[in-house]
Amino acid sequence: MKLRIETAALDVLTLRLFDDIDEANMPWLIAAGERLHEHFAGALIDLVPSYTTLMLHYNGQQLTEAEALRRVHTALDNLQPASTAAQGQLHQIGVWYDPSVGPDLPRLAQFSGLSIDGVIESHCARDYSVFALGFVPGFAYMGLVEPELAAPRLSTPRKKVPAGSVGIAERQTAVYPLVSPGGWNLLGRTASRLFDPQREGYSLLKPGDRVRFVAIDRETFIGQGGDVTPMAAEQ
pLDDT for residue 87: 66
Question: pLDDT by residue for the chain (235 residues), tens digit each?
Answer: 889 999 999 999 999 999 988 888 888 998 999 999 999 999 999 999 888 999 999 999 999 999 999 999 999 999 988 665 456 899 999 999 999 999 999 999 999 999 999 999 999 999 999 999 988 999 999 989 999 999 999 999 999 999 999 999 999 999 999 999 999 999 999 999 999 988 888 999 998 899 999 999 999 999 999 999 998 755 5
Neighbours of 197 (CB within 10 A): 6
Alpha carbon 177 to its chain centroid, in Å, reads: 12
DSSP code at position 234: T
φ and ψ of 78, to 5 deg: 55, 35
Angle made by CA atoms 16, 17, 22, in degrees to the nearest 5? 115
- In DSSP notation, 123-185 reads HTSS-EEEEEE-SSTT-EEEE---GGG-BPPPSS-EEEEPTTEEEEEBTEEEE--SSEEE-SE
Separation in Å, CA 189 to CA 39, 105, 170 = 42, 11, 19
pLDDT for residue 23: 84
Compute the 3-state secondary structure of the chain and give helix, strand, coil in percent, each to the nearest 5.
25, 30, 45
pLDDT for residue 26: 87
pLDDT for residue 190: 98
Are 131 and 214 within 8 A, CB to CB?
no
51-60 pLDDT per residue, tens: 899 999 999 9
Are 129 and 26 within 8 A, CB to CB?
yes
pLDDT for residue 235: 56
Show the domains of the chain with their CATH numbers. 4-86 (3.30.1360.40), 90-223 (2.40.100.10)
Taking Cα atoms as reference points, which of 165, 171, 159, 104 lies closest to residue 138? 165
**Distance between CA 135 and CA 84 in Å, rounded?**
29
pLDDT for residue 84: 55
- In DSSP notation, 101-113 reads T-TTHHHHHHHHT
